[in-house]
Structure 1
Amino acid sequence: MGKLQSKLKRNSTKYRPESPVRERSPPPTEQQQNRAHNDAVSSVTALKSDLCVSGGKDKAVVVSNWRTGSALKRFVGHDREVNKVTCVIGSNHFFSASRDKCVLMWDLHSKLGFTQKFQGHQLTVTGLAISPDSTQLLTGSRDNTLCKWDVETGQCLLKTAISRNLVTHMCWLPGESSAVQTSEDKVVRVWDSQQLQVTRSFPMKQYIQTHCDVSEDGNYCLTCSNGFGGQGCEATLWDLRQTKGELREYKGHHQTVASCIFLPSSMSATPLIATSSHDCTVKIWERDTGVCRSSLFLDGSGPLSSLAVCDSGSILCASFNLGIHCLRLESARGPFLQAGATF
């Protein structure tokens, strides 16, 4: 497949894309905190009610208090930039994948560095999915392979490969022993973690699928794609209970959509999703109608790389130039995105 067509560029042009939804830039009074990372942030995820974990080009994994915007702990152990971070929310352990071909497990309260190392891929690790009981870890790589690991021992239990399956992201299905995976070959696959076999796949899309997420009830999957100038640059909704074509597409971004997430039902009576793009915008969509309800332009942020839900009203957005943005979703007005602190 060659190099990832959606490869991020540090000096990407920043512009305000056309959209029927009024887009807003952060107000001049937006609070600025000390940065969690000193370079581009690749991935962010919620750890506890007030903590998040992030990884970036500076090779570090950082735990921050997202409510105050303060970095609490900095974990160093990777030799190259961190691509992905994941965890089971509420636990004290989290995982990071890197271009150094390995995955590290960290303990929030440990002072001795990483507590486990998972090494076996031949190229950069780009997918991480942890089971709800934190006992099994699935990893995917640009080497076309997926691995299943025993978290306690670090042993690789199973390994499989599919030609041209350059993994871009993975996430675990709630309440199941399965994970969803996106790839540069434009196919969305569902894997059974017990045998590490594909149980379902969906019709090939036209563009590289960059990211995926699964709804709270486990019925739906959301993926997004690369693109430029409005071609591609969409998110897609799939029904995991069938293998037919997509249910809906969400079009409105003008560059690669790097992250897509379902928003929890506590945020709105109407099911919502969120997307972030290299065009510096975060958009909120009605899941069932495809209508874009809010769009926020984060001026100067550069490409937006990752989204994570913190609580019933807060969303974290990782960026290349301005660190991590804490956004508020005001449901009273509609829903309506508002920028808060960056850190």
Structure 2
Amino acid sequence: MDMEGNKRVFQRLSGGPSTASDSRHHPQQQQQQKVCFHWRAGKCTRHPCPFLHRELPAPAQPLSNGGAPKRFAEDSGSQFLRRGPKFTGGSNTWGRVHGSNAVAKKTEKLCNYWVQGNCTYGDKCRYLHSWSLGDCFDMLTQLEGHQKVVTGIAFPSGSGNLYTGSKDETLRVWDCQSGQCAGVINLGGEIGCMISEGPWVFVGLPNLVKAYNTQSNADLSLNGPVGQVYAMVVGNGLLFAGIQDGSILAWKFNAATNGFEPAASLSGHTLGVVSLVVGANRLYSGSMDNSIRVWNLETLQCMQILTDHTSVVMSVLCWDQFLLSCSLDKTIKVGLGCLR
């Protein structure tokens, strides 16, 4: 067997000497000395790639009259355009991930292993480890002024102002163009919740609901609650408020007097009602008594009591035919049958 001939072939491919032991311990050495044609096209995505990301050195040329090799005398500019840049000083590492601090270029494809909870690449994985992608939102400004927890925010239709309520007992009005505070109303009690419906802003206070019309500047007080008003919602032409004593009060708007009149009081919860939602002609209420009650919006009668949670029901949501609820018991319950 012509071992010397094999050596010459291997030297021409690798640019270095070879031994029989090299071939025995590295059976894929011949394959790894090939240039990656994807890299030549500028679109290799394999990390690491088993092929070279550099051009192979040219075969050795005999010197003429002691001068430089003929290849060295070629025009470097035309060579760059024809074959791409040549790199010296070892293998090119462009397009590969080396070292503990390297971060792979991310694609927009979700990592299936991350979804299953067993991706071992961590931050070095080139696929997404996130359910969201994009940078559509940027921080514009921070509205500062409240001295305690902000408990409500509302943006009534037809208004250029934003309304915020806080446990510091104030309602603040913000100009949406300048971001500046346009007014402060001291309400004399902690604001437990706040919603808007059309031009109206409703503010839940201890023993009271305040109603402000941002178009007519009407300022109304809705009496009846006993204790803090924790939650409010509008449905079937009624304003509902969840109260600290476990009741749900309802008011109906009277266009003739341009005011709100008491319509009903829904009783059944034994502790404060902290969440309300309307859906599929039903009112759903979550309470500190760990239960959810389902009310018919037409008759205002309780239709069903759900007692699956073991702690306060903080929020309820009606989506299609499903009822979702979250609780301080660290669970989210999904119920079927919203439309029945």
What's the TM-score, normalizing by structure 2? 0.54
Letter in 1 for 2:272: T
Offset, 1:288: 3.4
User: Do 1:145 and 1:159's aligned partners in 2 also have CA atoms closer than 8 Å?
Assistant: yes
Report % sequence identity: 20
Q: Deviations over 1:63-120 (max 9, x none)?
A: xxxxxxxx946xxxxxxxxxxxxxxxxxxxxxxxxxxxxxxxxxx9537774432211
User: Do 2:309 and 2:329's aligned partners in 1 also have CA atoms closer than 8 Å?
Assistant: no
Q: Deviations over 1:205-260 (max 9, x none)?
A: 223221111226xx32000111xxxxx21111111336465211111112211112
Letter in 2 for 1:181: V
1:225 and 2:278 aligned? no
Q: Distance in 2 between matches of 1:151 and 1:327?
A: 39
SS, match of residue 167 in structure 1: coil
Which residue number in structure 2 is paired with residue 142 of structure 1? Answer: 167
SS, match of residue 165 in structure 2: strand
Pick from 184, 194, 200 the counterpart of residue 170 of structure 1.
Answer: 194
Q: Deviations over 1:112-164 (max 9, x none)?
A: 774432211112111111234795321011122111123454221222112x2
User: Do 1:140 and 1:146's aligned partners in 2 also have CA atoms closer than 8 Å?
Assistant: yes
Q: Distance in 2 between matches of 1:237 and 1:275?
A: 13
1:304 and 2:313 aligned? yes
Pick from 260, 279, 287 the counterpart of residue 297 of structure 2.
Answer: 287
Q: 1:177 to 1:250 in 2, by over 3 A?
A: same
Which residue number in structure 2 is paired with residue 12 of structure 1? Answer: none
Q: Deviations over 1:271-300 (max 9, x none)?
A: 321100112211110123231112211233
Mapping 1:101-180, distance limit 5 Å: 109-110=134-135, 114-132=139-157, 136-162=161-187, 164-173=188-197, 176-180=198-202
Which residue number in structure 1 is paired with residue 203 of structure 2? Answer: 181
Q: 1:133 to 1:117 in 2, by over 3 A?
A: farther
Q: 1:113 to 1:202 in 2, by over 3 A?
A: same
Mapping 1:185-224, distance limit 5 Å: 186-193=207-214, 199-215=219-235, 219-224=237-242
Letter in 2 for 1:191: Y
Q: Distance in 2 between matches of 1:328 and 1:153?
A: 46
User: Do 2:162 and 2:176's aligned partners in 1 also have CA atoms closer than 8 Å?
Assistant: yes
Q: 1:132 to 1:243 in 2, by over 3 A?
A: closer
User: Do 2:318 and 2:338's aligned partners in 1 also have CA atoms closer than 8 Å?
Assistant: no
Offset, 1:320: 1.3
Q: 1:112 to 1:260 in 2, by over 3 A?
A: closer
Which residue number in structure 2 is paired with residue 9 of structure 1? Answer: none
Number of residue-to-residue matches in the alignment: 208
Mapping 1:59-70, distance limit 5 Å: none
Structure 2: runs of 5+ lacking an equivalent = 1-129
Which residue number in structure 1 is paired with residue 72 of structure 2? Answer: none
**273-282 vs 135-144, which moves further:** 135-144
SS, match of residue 262 in structure 2: coil
Pick from 252, 256, 264 the counterpart of residue 268 of structure 2.
Answer: 252
SS, match of residue 337 in structure 2: strand
Larger radius of gyration: 2
Q: Distance in 2 between matches of 1:115 and 1:324?
A: 33
Q: Which structure has the higher relative contact order (CA within 8 Å, separation 6+)?
A: 1
Q: Distance in 2 between matches of 1:114 and 1:327?
A: 37
Which residue number in structure 2 is paired with residue 47 of structure 1? Answer: none
User: Do 2:251 and 2:264's aligned partners in 1 also have CA atoms closer than 8 Å?
Assistant: yes
Q: Distance in 1 between matches of 2:174 and 2:303?
A: 41
User: Do 1:259 and 1:275's aligned partners in 2 also have CA atoms closer than 8 Å?
Assistant: yes
Higher helix residue share: 2
User: Do 1:306 and 1:317's aligned partners in 2 also have CA atoms closer than 8 Å?
Assistant: yes
Q: Deviations over 1:288-342 (max 9, x none)?
A: 3231112211233x211122333x32333221122433333343xxx3xxxxxxx
Q: Distance in 2 between matches of 1:278 and 1:114?
A: 36
Letter in 1 for 2:168: D
What's the TM-score, normalizing by structure 1? 0.54
Q: Deviations over 1:179-215 (max 9, x none)?
A: 111112x1111113368x6522212322322111122
User: Do 1:203 and 1:245's aligned partners in 2 also have CA atoms closer than 8 Å?
Assistant: no
Letter in 2 for 1:247: A
Q: 1:141 to 1:238 in 2, by over 3 A?
A: same
User: Do 2:225 and 2:249's aligned partners in 1 also have CA atoms closer than 8 Å?
Assistant: no
Higher strand residue share: 1
Which residue number in structure 1 is paired with residue 277 of structure 2? Answer: 261
